[in-house]
């Protein structure tokens, strides 16, 4: 049963340290992933939610960050958005926090006129729970590029449509 | 028959004005495409080919730029590269210049250890010659995301593998 007293909001620059520490603790994220998340966070924290290309939301329990999501509009499209990252603290998984975060991203994308949300993930064994997560959240496995990340690790593209 | 006295090289910052004028004259490119090409060019011209994430090459006849291509490694992958843009001057098309450019990109990607080149293009009617171009250059139509750019305009992903 999802915890009911979890709140989702837009993080402030002061949340950066905690958010990045949480990301570093997620076993599926590699050093290069963390570096990328840090870059997107830096842009978001310096420009603010209104002006940044990347948007972050966090889920909190008693003020403590349990998970985060990062999304943004795909350049050169009308209404396509990318879910860049979604991460839930290593000890907080399977509590419905990811579902709450992705639901909030969808709500925000819709309210910004988005009609398509794209979630790219890896095809390797370790990401099977991630792929199951997207399917159970109503995403369609729409495309796959073989050996994209490296030999034997495909890119898997999930989509959800709102119109 | 392809012109044989066409040369391909890495442009210098001084080529920017000519290259962007040529891009603006290509009917398939929209204003937002030109804006993006300009951004990538600015990064390339300021950082140089060694340090820039984006790489440009141009084809010239008697010093005059006839076409260009822009490519770069896809972040978070081992050996996947994107062909971001390929453009041939509106009056210079169907002369084999695009084929020469894409061949040179492939050569450079291979020599940098790339094993996969990805070319994303549009599914709409106007891009049928572009899609035919990739197929005739040995690319595989590997994936498609419906209504990606806008309703009725899919993303079409071509790939070519070198290992």
Q: Which residues of A touch B33 (CB under 8 A)?
A: 76
Q: What is the pTM of this model?
A: 0.92
Stretch A62-88: mean pLDDT: 96
Give the closest of A75, A142, A150 to B77, CB-based: A150
C-alpha separations of A13 from A56, A57, A110, B56 in Å:
11, 12, 25, 36
Q: Residue count of chain A, please give it.
A: 163
Q: Which residues of A touch B80 (CB under 8 A)?
A: 148-149
- Note the ipTM here: 0.89
pLDDT, position A59: 97
Tokens of A25: 């603790």
- pLDDT band, residue A2 (cuts 50/70/90): low
Q: Do A147 and B157 touch (CB under 8 A)?
A: no
Contact status, residue A7 vs residue A59, Cβ threshold 8 Å? yes
Contact status, residue A73 vs residue A80, Cβ threshold 8 Å? yes
Q: Determine the distance in angstroms separating the CA of B3 from the nearest CA of chain A, rounded to an integer.
A: 34
DSSP class of B13: G
- CB atoms under 10 Å from CB of B34, counted, come to 15
pLDDT, position A163: 83
Q: Sign of the CA dihedral A79, A80, A82, A88? A: positive
pLDDT in tens, A110-155: 999 999 999 999 999 999 999 999 999 999 999 999 999 999 999 9
């Amino acid at each position: 049963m999802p915890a009911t007293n979890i709140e989702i909001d837009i993080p402030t620059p002061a949340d950066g340290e905690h958010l990045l520490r949480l990301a570093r603790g997620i076993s599926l994220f590699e050093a290069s992933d963390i570096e990328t998340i840090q870059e997107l966070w830096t842009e978001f924290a310096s420009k603010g939610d209104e002006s940044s290309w990347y948007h972050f939301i966090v889920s909190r329990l008693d003020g403590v960050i349990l998970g985060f999501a990062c999304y943004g509009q795909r350049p050169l499209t009308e209404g396509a958005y990318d879910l860049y990252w979604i991460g839930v603290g290593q000890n907080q998984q399977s509590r419905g926090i990811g579902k709450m975060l992705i639901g909030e991203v969808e709500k925000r994308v819709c309210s910004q006129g988005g009609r398509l949300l794209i979630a790219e993930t890896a095809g390797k064994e370790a990401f099977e729970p991630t792929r199951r997560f997207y399917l159970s959240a109503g995403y369609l496995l729409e495309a796959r590029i073989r050996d994209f990340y490296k030999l034997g690790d495909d890119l898997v593209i999930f989509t959800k449509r709102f119109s």
